[in-house]
């Protein structure tokens, strides 16, 4: 059992955390004909947009209510209304994801109440699903926003089957840690059993690299509203990742479809891959103090940033490998440690969105990729001779 240590620092150096609003926006990218909109300042939206474009290397549809000093003081309902009407007129989406930010949450905006009033007096919005999500930057991280967005979609759109017959179908709720390639791989595995898989969200159909014949202001693909409404006709819901448990439970309570929550779909067993390969975890740093982190095969897990990761590596006497996103490259360079890029964002390598680690084949490819990262490092031969009778040490952030 690992000890979870939360320093609660006043200053974050080289932040590891990615914001909850970005996670919510990313979830809406897996909805067909969707256009997410941040209820906040233009800077918040621009930052999230840049991060997603750099990671996926695709055009990302994302709008903002563009809150300014006056609307922040007097209230942003007019900004929301104008934003929704502009989107409805110009983009004609099937669904709009309205996501709060720290700015509007700190003021205490009643987004749900505002949306209800706005829809009531604007017939242009009656045929568009407007889903509001509370995901402030100061609460949670990327996975928090993703989970909240999926839960909000389920609450508003999913319906019980009623008298309709059950379909030979499985609901799939993939976690934010799964790439579009992972989602596609799991859907293929489910199809091999003669079952149809409906993924919510489905990034494998929207951020898979395909280019449309003509410009579209909304998402290029994903799961449709009608498919979400029919999730009550499935026989089972499979959620992947602990942060999807609430969404799975919400779907089960609303539709009666039983749910199964898996912590991961890589490896032969639900245990840590690094320890499976004989490595020890010298340092582990995360963004949120989640209870499940106590199950990691490490002495302790630090809730912090890349500065904490660097401190832990030095305290452990070094590491043979760092597993983290691209922002860990400075730490890796300073200490001459090979870096295996994983998570979000990965902006200095091509194809990050298409890498597959799910299933047996994905696990094999992951192990091979880890080995290649170690082998191509200049110090590999020396490290191999020095540690031939011991365990390699990995640091994860």
Determine which helix (DSSP H) or strand (DSSP E) holds 209, and give its type and residue range: none
Determine which helix (DSSP H) or strand (DSSP E) holds 322, and give its type and residue range: strand 321-324
Instruction: For domain 269-396, give the fold.
Output: Rossmann fold (3.40.50)
Indicate if the pLDDT at residue 287 is higher than 90: no
Contact 39, 65 (CB under 8 A): yes
CATH of 20-157, one of 3.40.50.9100, 3.40.50.1980, 1.10.260.40, 3.40.50.720: 3.40.50.1980
- Span 228-267, pLDDT tens digits: 999 999 999 999 999 999 999 999 999 999 999 998 887 5
Reduced to 3 states (helix: H, G, I; strand: E, B; else coil), residue 137 is coil
Domain residue ranges in the chain: 20-157, 169-207+214-262, 269-396
Measured CA to CA, the distance from residue 133 to residue 253 in angstroms comes to: 20
386 or 10: whose pLDDT is higher?
A: 10
- Span 176-219, pLDDT tens digits: 999 999 999 999 999 999 999 999 999 999 998 887 788 889 99
The yes-or-no answer to whether 20-157 and 269-396 have a common fold is yes
Token pair for 356: 């597959």
Confidence at residue 309, expressed as pLDDT on a 0 to 100 scale: 92
Confidence at residue 224, expressed as pLDDT on a 0 to 100 scale: 97
Confidence at residue 273, expressed as pLDDT on a 0 to 100 scale: 56
Token pair for 10: 């006043």
Instruction: Give me the helices (H) in the chain, please.
Output: 20-28, 42-56, 69-74, 77-90, 102-107, 111-121, 142-157, 180-192, 225-229, 245-255, 273-276, 306-315, 329-335, 359-375, 380-386
Confidence at residue 272, expressed as pLDDT on a 0 to 100 scale: 52
Confidence at residue 335, expressed as pLDDT on a 0 to 100 scale: 93
Q: Taking Cα atoms as reference points, which of 289, 336, 347 lies closest to residue 310?
A: 336
The class of domain 169-207+214-262 in CATH terms is alpha beta
Contact 345, 18 (CB under 8 A): yes
Confidence at residue 294, expressed as pLDDT on a 0 to 100 scale: 80
- Span 41-62, pLDDT tens digits: 999 899 999 999 999 999 999 9
Average pLDDT over residues 265-286: 67
What percent of the chain lies above the pLDDT cut of 90? 65
Measured CA to CA, the distance from residue 390 to residue 243 in angstroms comes to: 35
- Span 80-99, pLDDT tens digits: 999 999 999 999 999 999 99
Contact 240, 262 (CB under 8 A): yes
Q: What is the mean pLDDT of the chain?
A: 89
Q: Cα angle at 153 between 106 and 25, to 5 degrees?
A: 55
Measured CA to CA, the distance from residue 152 to residue 144 in angstroms comes to: 12
Reduced to 3 states (helix: H, G, I; strand: E, B; else coil), residue 231 is coil
- Bridging pattern class, strands 280-286 and 321-324: unpaired
- Span 333-348, pLDDT tens digits: 999 999 999 999 999 9
Q: Report the half-sphere exposure of 163 (CA within 13 A, side-chain side).
A: 0
- Span 143-153, pLDDT tens digits: 999 999 999 99
Average pLDDT over residues 154-163: 93
Residue 379 — very low, low, confident or very high, per pLDDT cuts 50/70/90? Answer: low
């Amino acid at each position: 059992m690992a000890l979870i240590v939360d320093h609660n620092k006043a200053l974050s150096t080289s932040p590891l955390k990615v914001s909850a609003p970005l996670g919510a926006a990313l979830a809406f990218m897996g909805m067909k004909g969707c256009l997410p909109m941040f209820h906040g300042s233009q800077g918040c939206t621009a930052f999230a947009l840049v991060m997603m474009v750099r990671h996926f290397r695709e055009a990302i549809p994302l709008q903002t209510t563009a809150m300014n000093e006056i609307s922040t003081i007097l209230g942003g309902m007019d900004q929301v209304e104008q934003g929704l009407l502009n989107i409805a007129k110009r983009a004609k989406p099937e669904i709009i994801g309205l996501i709060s930010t720290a700015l509007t949450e700190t003021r205490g905006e009643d987004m749900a109440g505002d949306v209800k009033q706005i829809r009531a007096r604007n017939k242009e919005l009656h045929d568009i699903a407007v889903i509001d999500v509370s995901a402030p930057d100061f609460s949670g991280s990327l996975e928090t926003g993703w989970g909240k967005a999926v839960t909000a979609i389920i609450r508003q759109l999913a319906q019980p089957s009623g008298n309709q017959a059950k379909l030979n179908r499985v609901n799939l709720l993939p976690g934010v840690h799964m790439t579009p390639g992972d989602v596609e791989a799991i859907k293929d595995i489910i199809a091999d059993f003669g079952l149809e898989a409906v993924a919510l969200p489905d990034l494998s159909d929207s951020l898979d690299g395909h280019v449309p014949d003509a410009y579209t202001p909304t998402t290029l693909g994903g799961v449709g509203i009608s498919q979400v409404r029919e999730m009550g006709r499935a026989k089972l819901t499979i959620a992947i990742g602990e942060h999807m448990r609430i969404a799975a439970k919400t779907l089960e309570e609303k539709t009666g479809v039983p749910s199964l929550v898996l912590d991961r779909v890589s490896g032969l067993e639900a245990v840590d891959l690094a320890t499976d390969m004989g490595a020890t975890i010298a340092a582990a740093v995360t963004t949120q103090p989640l209870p499940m982190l106590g199950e990691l095969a490490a002495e302790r897990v630090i809730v912090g940033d890349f500065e904490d990761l660097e401190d832990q590596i030095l305290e452990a006497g070094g590491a043979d490998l760092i597993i983290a996103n691209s922002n860990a490259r400075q730490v890796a360079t300073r200490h001459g440690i090979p870096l295996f890029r994983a998570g979000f964002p990965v902006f200095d390598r091509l194809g990050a969105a298409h890498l597959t680690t799910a299933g047996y084949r994905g696990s094999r490819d992951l192990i091979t990729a880890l080995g290649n990262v170690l082998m191509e490092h200049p110090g590999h031969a020396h490290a191999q001779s020095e540690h031939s009778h011991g365990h390699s040490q990995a640091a994860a952030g």
